[in-house]
A and B are shown apart, each in its own frame.
Chain A
Amino acid sequence: DAKTTQPTSMDCAEGRAANLPCNHSTISGNEYVYWYRQIHSQGPQYIIHGLKNNETNEMASLIITEDRKSSTLILPHATLRDTAVYYCIVRRRNAGNNRKLIWGLGTSLAVNP
């Protein structure tokens, strides 16, 4: 599975949009982009995933560039509870590949009051 690159840390003001970038320049055509986050003292939590179209759910929006080499996770109105480490992962969406996830160090997002 392709490797991703994320900034080590970011800050965001409460109530503002948090835009978390991820580079995955070696992504292949059958690989999806997945985002998870890990709040302190909890297990990682699935947020959203996408292939090439932009996606939105109740937690966040995912914007994938046309060449699919990068993406941005958007938390539209960040709250203090969104303070967490955010992981961007690419993987093929077929059987057996959850075990091949490369987690990296993620982006530590601090939402400030």
Chain B
Amino acid sequence: DAGVIQSPRHEVTEMGQEVTLRCKPISGHNSLFWYRQTMMRGLELLIYFNNNVPIDDSGMPEDRFSAKMPNASFSTLKIQPSEPRDSAVYFCASSFSGQGINSPLHFGNGTRLTVT
């Protein structure tokens, strides 16, 4: 089990550029989460998918942020255009949800985004 895989590990971009973060969840997990972590606000949930369908995107800061999950093994989080205040570590996590249970969350090692 390779765990949740995120890429890139680090991203440095200029304000106004498009940024795409990628995530491969653990095989067999049907729930996927995108989180953002900053020193000021801690871990914040951005969006939650279940069976590839976005269920809760209330944490997405604004229309510049979008997320997709075209299949069970891949998801992207896109920021267009990026701004300096988007600088943070972005985590993807997955779990199994169903039959009345939720497995614990498994996190990737994150993408550290710096927007200059």
Q: Which residues of A are in contact with B by a Cβ distance under 8 Å?
A: 34, 36, 41-46, 49, 93-99, 101, 103-105
Contact = CB atoms under 8 A, between A and B. Distances in A.
B70 interface: no
Contacts of B2: none
Contact of A43 (B98, B99, B109): B109
Interface size class of B (residues with CB under 8 A): 20 to 34
Contacts of B102: 93-98
Contacts, number: 59
B100 A98 contact: no
B42 interface: yes
Contacts of A105: 42
Given A99-B48, A103-B42, A103-B43, A94 B109 contact: no
Closest 8 CB pairs of A and B: A43-B107, A46-B104, A103-B43, A99-B48, A44-B107, A98-B102, A95-B97, A43-B91
